[in-house]
Structure 1
Amino acid sequence: MEYGIGDILRLIGSLGLFLFGMKVMSDALLKLAGNRMRTILSTMTSNRFLGITTGFLITSVIQSSSATTLMVVSFSNASLLTLTEAISVIMGANIGTTVTAWIIAILGFKVSMSSIALPLVGMGMLFTFSKRERLQNWGVFVVGFAVLFIGLQFLKDAMPNINENPAILDFLRPYTDIGFFSVLLFMILGTVLTILIQSSSATMALTLLMTAEGWIPFDLAAAMVLGENIGTTITANIAAIVANYQAKRTARAHLIFNIVGVIWMLILFYPFLYAISWLVQELGSPSPYLELAAIPIAISLFHTVFNITNTLLLVWFIKPMAWLVEKTVPEIIPPERAIDEPKYLNDDMLQYPETAIATLIRESKYLYKNAVYEIVAHALNIHRADIMSDLKARKVISKSMKDFKTDVRALYLSKVKNIYGEIIRYATRAQSELKLTRAQNNRIMEIKLANRRMVEIIRDVGELNRNVTRFLNSENKYIREEYNQFRKSVVRVLRVIYLFRTEEEKELYRKKLSSLKREAKENIKKGNLAIDKLIREELITTDMASSLVNDHDLVNDLIRKLIAVAELLYGARDPLFVNEGQDELKDVA
């Protein structure tokens, strides 16, 4: 019986059905568990073993190492993961991907799924009609799971039978009998197949089927598995082409990790296989060298033991690996954008809620640090370097008694207005295009509120600037002292905010900000009493009094807004969300 073009097309179609089932199942699992998995990933610490566990769990749950790796690349791109954290997660993902091979080997070869696959499709479809989204996703998962095994059954049926097509062995024999070169050849075949199919799971299924049909022996199947480990890294490297240098480093680390593992495995290839054969026999199965039926389980065991061993060996070299990657992929400083253009907003970061939120926070922090902070300081005729110094606030004020001639309106138009608009547009897109949890939606609303507060701060300091400049060197010492006291209060707040966003002792400076916020509230009453005294004793003119009363409230309001922005953007907790109330957040959204 000849194996013709029609049979080849059946084989390709069967593979397509298998891949479709895998994709449907993986996508459904991402919807079911993706939010939780990404939250774990985005909040993990630098502990390498926690990273490995995280990578293993995510890949085991969503059944796609490529999806995990792409997630890691995106998170690295958004600076949610450091390079060492990303490497540890990828190590865990390599172990997690072996779960797929066990599912295929056990359910595809040890258990007949064909009799229950169609009933599973019917049951899954019933769930998809549910009004509850979670049940719909479970239904899609069940359908994808069943279709995967229907595709696997078709693949088994489409594979040419060696007894009926002996010419196939004649075709393969020249490539299976050349010793270690056969191992290298089939490793390359596994790499190429994985790159073409873009699924190591599909290549693993083909490998298991080829062994079950007697096409290739145990050692060459193991060689294909090694090739699949290299081929699976290509997906992340392709995704990183258009990403920043951090994502490129993550993808390169994945490639280096897998290649190093393959190299040492090739050196110990035959002893390692004999150890797997011994372990399989100890577990009660025949030797894969003697029985074709034993090869699928032996290959799955080889895949798992290899990836676990590789991780246990290389986990101690994460930092040297990171150093090597940093040397081979140098930091690329992006070209300087126009002053009124966003620096971090990127449509690629709208793929996940976590990366979108991280991008919004980075852009908002950049806006505060490079525009709002400068405008507030210069509007009050204060040097930023003095604020960041160890000089006492009184000294900072006394050495800054000249007019900076700051045009607050011009600075707002050139440095803030367009970026603020882009942040709001980006945040609104995230809310409308992404599936957000309530907490994620609230976080975006808080970011929008923080940006609105920054614009209000610029408006307030613009009004304050006129009188600060006017009374900066007034002959009336009382009005001069009052306005210098305003400046001193703002300097103290800006300095604590600077320390809050740059120092590690967050809680210490959070308490100081809370104290300054209470002080600003109390100052409204105390300040009014002091102003009343100046007016009664006719120490200032009526015109001065009018300006002083208005600016007194303005300064304290400005201080509260500055602290509110700092708490929202730099604090682990968000007190403003509680203090301002949900009604205002709804208005912002």
Structure 2
Amino acid sequence: MRRNVGTGVFLVILVICFWAVPDLQEVVAGIAIFLFGMAMLEDGFKLFSGGLLETILERATASLPRALGFGFVTTTLMQSSSLVTLVTISFLSAGLITLTAGVGIIFGANIGTTTGAWLVAGFGLKVNLSAYAMPMLALAVVPAFQSSKYMRGFGLVLAGMGFLFLGIHYMKIGFDAFQSYFDLTEYALTGFSGLILFSGIGAIMTVIMQSSGATMVLVITALAASQITYENALALAIGSNIGTTITAAIGAISANYQGKRLALAHLIFNVATASVALVLIGPIISLVNVASSAIGISPDDYTLKLAVFHTLFNLMGVALMLPLLNKLISFLEHRIPTPTPMLAHPQFISEATDDFPETINIALQKELSHLLDSALPLIAGGLNLQWDRLTQSKNIPGQVMQSRTDMEFALGTKYIEQIKPIYSAIISFSARASGINDMTEAEVSRLHDLRDTASHISRAVKSTNRLHRNTLGYTVRNQGMITQLYDQLRIELADLMVQLDLLNTANADKSWLEQAQVQAQLTRKNAISQAEKYIRNTQIEAPMATSFINDTQYAYDVAHNLISAAQTLYLEPISIDHAASDAPQPTVHTS
């Protein structure tokens, strides 16, 4: 309610200002058109993110220099450090790039965002941009309404550029006409107090407009119309760098711990850079004068000198922070620690990936691997086996035979604490993601397959819980043939789980998964046949045999669901390469 009242009051004040100063309409309309163009530009580039942008990002961050270059180039092309920041947070949250690479991209994006100032100061103010804007808008209509998302993306990008040009044009006209009513330079402040005040104004402007690029365009057009002083314009540029961190902060709200680390890095970098620029403003201005003179910029061309300043102080920030990068990473990891793996929280899926369809399935796949990693120790515990000993043992049958101590393993409770929260998060994430319009039919199909994989893993743990009572009763002490039968079930499942665990290792052989379901069914039939043989030979009693045959079905359910999950995760087409090797096929134990 208060927000609505505040919005209403603001609109009333704006209308009054329009009535009092008609030419103000063109300035505000120019800002609105420019921001609308920015939004269309971002939406257009997002439509290219169904594989192209993600592939480039994944391959361009193998080293810090390449990450810096990627941040610079993409921000220069897209003219949106906000989009680059959000893509980076999305990929970092999904575990596809390292935190160091993410920070490198942010550093590069800060340099790339300065190219906008050069375009406006060097081209936008000297050319009638509306002459270019109108044809671009007219041409954009045709591809923008095509069914292909790439054509729509191209149309939106073209329209976005047209609206950007149109917005700059109207801001320039508005400020030129504005001079006949007010001279805003009367409110100029000099000295350190002016730097602080106008830096704060620049930060607030950027927070409101959600775009440092929009702030810089407004500042440059106002400076060109002599509505602000050069010194105050420099302070506004510094403030815009601080205000732009709000984009990363908003994007990190729904991100995991890695996304939050990146947002904090962005804040530290921009605030530190701005602080140094404010302290060293005198030497930096002198350096700007020298650099401007060297490249032929006139001493009174303050708009281009502002572009030089914007570039130099961002380069200075990167130069200062790069030697401290390792310390920054260590600080971020200490300040926002990695969640303890045993805590039942999703590690890779979050709302931060929602705008990028390719990232959605990659993040979900990683989360399912995390869920499987959480489930395997619980299944082992439900069979009265210690998971760490199984994974380290070279003799699984011998390890199983030695496991006779009652572990007092509360599998039902552990399922609720360690599996269900992640499973629920996966189902919620899948339901939300399946409603995203930009996902292709193949991506939606893959999403549904991955969602079903979570159900398989959950059912495997629940089936183990049904096995737990009899397994415990017949294996904590040797009771003859019935103990041998249950031990054989435990050996089969333990062997399967260890082989599944090895699938995450490099060069793991996955070909055995193709016939694993057939082998599991055969193992079940052999176990039942063995039980029937023992009954005929009066080696076990019928009630024991009945329990074992029922439990054989539960054991098969565990194996079937684990294998189904692994087949979806490791055999179906995925975005990350999992190269197969010539590793030996796992040994399958039969009764």
The answer to whether TM tops 0.5 is: yes
* One-letter code aligned to 1:393: I
Map of 1:195 onto structure 2: 207
Q: Paired residue for 1:171, among 186, 196, 203?
A: 186
Change (3 A) 1:76 1:464: same
Map of 1:124 onto structure 2: 140
2:459 aligned with 1:444: no
Map of 2:401 onto structure 1: 398
Measure how far apart 1:154 and its partner are.
1.4
| RMSD (CA atoms) | 4.5
Map of 2:68 onto structure 1: 52
CA contact (8 A) 2:41 2:157 kept: yes
* One-letter code aligned to 1:319: N
Q: Paired residue for 1:96, among 89, 112, 124?
A: 112
Map of 2:249 onto structure 1: 237
Matches within 5 A, 1:354-365: 356-357=360-361, 360-361=364-365, 364-365=368-369
2:99 aligned with 1:83: yes
2:46 aligned with 1:30: yes
2:270 aligned with 1:261: no
CA contact (8 A) 1:25 1:140 kept: yes
Map of 1:454 onto structure 2: 457
Measure how far apart 1:152 and its partner are.
1.5
CA contact (8 A) 2:149 2:438 kept: no
CA contact (8 A) 2:76 2:112 kept: yes
SS in 2 for 1:159: helix
* One-letter code aligned to 2:110: N
Measure how far apart 1:547 and its partner are.
7.9
* One-letter code aligned to 1:22: M
Change (3 A) 1:529 1:522: same
Matches within 5 A, 1:128-527: 128-160=144-176, 164=180, 168=183, 171-172=186-187, 175=189, 178-179=190-191, 181-216=193-228, 218-240=230-252, 245-283=257-295, 285-287=296-298, 289-290=299-300, 294-326=301-333, 329-331=335-337, 350-353=354-357, 356-357=360-361, 360-361=364-365, 364-365=368-369, 367-370=371-374, 372-390=375-393, 392-401=395-404, 420=423, 423-437=426-440, 440-458=443-461, 461=464, 468=471, 472=475, 477-498=480-501, 506-507=505-506, 510-511=508-509
CA contact (8 A) 2:513 2:567 kept: no
Measure how far apart 1:70 and its partner are.
3.3
Cα deviation, 1:2-56, whole Å, max 9, x if unaligned, reads: x953333432222222222222223222223465324544676563223222322
Measure how far apart 1:552 and its partner are.
7.0
Change (3 A) 1:361 1:394: same
Q: Which segment drifts farther, 138-147 or 514-523?
A: 514-523
CA distance in structure 2 between the aligned counterparts of 1:235 and 1:388, rounded to whole angstroms: 44
Measure how far apart 1:127 and its partner are.
3.2
Q: State percent identity of aligned pairs.
A: 27
- How many corresponding residue pairs? 555
Measure how far apart 1:61 and its partner are.
3.4
Measure how far apart 1:234 and its partner are.
2.8
Cα deviation, 1:336-389, whole Å, max 9, x if unaligned, reads: 99x8x989875565444356446644654454344x335522442323454355
Cα deviation, 1:532-577, whole Å, max 9, x if unaligned, reads: 799499485695888878877875774465355356558955799x
CA contact (8 A) 1:203 1:228 kept: yes
CA distance in structure 1 between the aligned counterparts of 2:180 and 2:24, rounded to whole angstroms: 15
Structure 2 unaligned regions, length at least 5: 1-18, 581-591
* One-letter code aligned to 1:96: G
Measure how far apart 1:235 and its partner are.
3.0
Q: Which segment drifts farther, 532-541 or 390-399?
A: 532-541
CA contact (8 A) 1:567 1:573 kept: no
SS in 2 for 1:432: coil
Change (3 A) 1:129 1:439: closer
* One-letter code aligned to 1:452: S
CA contact (8 A) 1:39 1:354 kept: no
CA distance in structure 2 between the aligned counterparts of 1:163 and 1:384, rounded to whole angstroms: 77
Map of 1:584 onto structure 2: none
* One-letter code aligned to 1:150: L
Map of 2:565 onto structure 1: 565
CA distance in structure 1 between the aligned counterparts of 2:520 and 2:148, rounded to whole angstroms: 53
Measure how far apart 1:162 and its partner are.
8.5
* One-letter code aligned to 1:168: D
Measure how far apart 1:89 and its partner are.
1.6
CA contact (8 A) 2:26 2:173 kept: no
CA distance in structure 1 between the aligned counterparts of 2:526 and 2:49, rounded to whole angstroms: 59
CA distance in structure 2 between the aligned counterparts of 1:199 and 1:148, rounded to whole angstroms: 13
Measure how far apart 1:204 and its partner are.
0.9
Q: Which segment drifts farther, 19-28 or 548-557?
A: 548-557
Change (3 A) 1:194 1:422: closer
CA distance in structure 2 between the aligned counterparts of 1:79 and 1:32, rounded to whole angstroms: 21
CA contact (8 A) 1:520 1:556 kept: no
CA contact (8 A) 1:524 1:552 kept: no
Change (3 A) 1:563 1:315: farther
Map of 1:587 onto structure 2: none
CA distance in structure 1 between the aligned counterparts of 2:27 and 2:116, rounded to whole angstroms: 21
* One-letter code aligned to 2:158: V
CA distance in structure 1 between the aligned counterparts of 2:371 and 2:523, rounded to whole angstroms: 34
CA contact (8 A) 1:535 1:541 kept: no
CA distance in structure 2 between the aligned counterparts of 1:245 and 1:473, rounded to whole angstroms: 42
CA distance in structure 2 between the aligned counterparts of 1:163 and 1:467, rounded to whole angstroms: 89
Change (3 A) 1:541 1:498: same
Cα deviation, 1:157-213, whole Å, max 9, x if unaligned, reads: 111458746x6166146x2xx455544444343333223332211211122112322
CA distance in structure 2 between the aligned counterparts of 1:275 and 1:516, rounded to whole angstroms: 65
Measure how far apart 1:414 and its partner are.
8.3
CA distance in structure 1 between the aligned counterparts of 2:493 and 2:119, rounded to whole angstroms: 63
Measure how far apart 1:241 and its partner are.
5.3
Cα deviation, 1:128-170, whole Å, max 9, x if unaligned, reads: 34344433332233222222222211111111458746x6166
CA distance in structure 2 between the aligned counterparts of 1:199 and 1:540, rounded to whole angstroms: 79
CA contact (8 A) 2:531 2:545 kept: no
Measure how far apart 1:226 and its partner are.
1.9
CA distance in structure 2 between the aligned counterparts of 1:459 and 1:245, rounded to whole angstroms: 30
CA contact (8 A) 1:517 1:559 kept: no
TM (norm. structure 1) is 0.77
